[in-house]
């Protein structure tokens, strides 16, 4: 199975990688528990630690967005919703 990401002009490396991760992890045939086991076993310590930083940052960001219902993220700029 091959993965592709649609090109978005001006997208950062981080945004492009986030889109790729979305496509790969959205595969319902992927066993996430087995993936976690393989990540823990195969990745070098530095790479594993960097991945954990990414996941913790994502969790914090998701929580922040849920806590501030009037603030929406459009992947590039924060904007306030008109009341």
Q: What is the mean pLDDT of each run of 10 residues along the chain (83 residues)?
A: 61 93 95 96 97 95 78 56 50
Model pLDDT, residue 68: 72
**Are 81 and 72 contacting, i.e. CB atoms less than 8 angstroms apart?**
yes
Alpha carbons 63 and 73: distance in angstroms, whole number:
13
Helix, strand or coil, per DSSP, at residue 77: coil
How far is Cα 74 from Cα 44, in angstroms, rounded to an integer? Answer: 34
Alpha carbons 51 and 36: distance in angstroms, whole number = 11
Distance CA(28)–CA(35), nearest Å, equals: 12
Judge if pTM exceeds 0.75: no
Predicted local distance difference test score (pLDDT) of residue 66: 81
């Amino acid at each position: 199975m091959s993965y592709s990401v649609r090109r978005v002009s001006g997208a950062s490396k981080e945004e492009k990688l986030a889109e790729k991760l979305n496509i790969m992890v959205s595969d319902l045939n992927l066993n996430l528990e087995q993936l976690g086991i393989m990540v823990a076993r195969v990745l070098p310590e530095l790479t594993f630690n960097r991945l954990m930083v990414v996941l913790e940052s994502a969790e914090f960001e998701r929580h922040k967005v849920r806590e501030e219902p009037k603030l929406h993220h459009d992947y590039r700029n924060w904007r306030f919703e008109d009341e």
